[in-house]
Chains A and B, each alone.
Chain A
């Protein structure tokens, strides 16, 4: 059974960079069958897709965040990461990593990691 687990700092200062990692077990991230993505949920708000990326290929990103987002991979550790630069309080959210099928729905999610942006 595939499992995903987010990890990273729970507190980030405004204007700094948010970095989260998603550890994957039960499947290899080095596959063309799936891409790997990030979704977030701000307090009291709905879910917002951030972006998704194939390990060896194309990615797609939410235009509202694209200029600040990077998704990268570490195949040796079977994990992928999110980097969001120049954060503000509006980036405070529960961040989920997930596996995205080639049809573009998400078939497995991590439990989420809360990140607060505050000085």
Chain B
């Protein structure tokens, strides 16, 4: 299985400041990487997870443009350019290059 490792596990950022979350994929059994087959989700307490970004950098309809995604090799980044109070949540990544689909362990974002 492809292992997705997120960092950090949690971070506290001041309102209006940048938050950066990383997700690194292992290689598949065949040695290939996952390309850009990666999605990011946001989960607020007591709510369903919400799709933010797919294909590593494509924002889902309705997602504010302060959320952006990027990829460099097997390293993926979710950036919140200017943290708002409503962005407090757990964020997790998912690879969909090869089954079984796997997720990162999640990163909790809080206000400093």
Contact = CB atoms under 8 A, between A and B. Distances in A.
- The finding on whether chains A and B are genuine partners in a shared complex, rather than unrelated, reads yes
A104 B100 CA distance: 11
B103 interface: yes
Interface residues of B, number: 23
Interface stretch (B11-19, B42-50, B78-86): B42-50
A46 B100 contact: no
A114 B96 CA distance: 25
A95 to B, nearest CB: 12
Interface residues of A, number: 23
Contacts of A110: 48
B60 A106 contact: no
A109 B94 contact: no
A57 interface: no
Interface string A26-48: 00000000000001000000111
Given A60-B99, A62-B100, A105-B54, A47 B39 contact: no
A106 B51 contact: yes
Interface string B52-73: 0011000010000000000000
A105 B104 contact: no
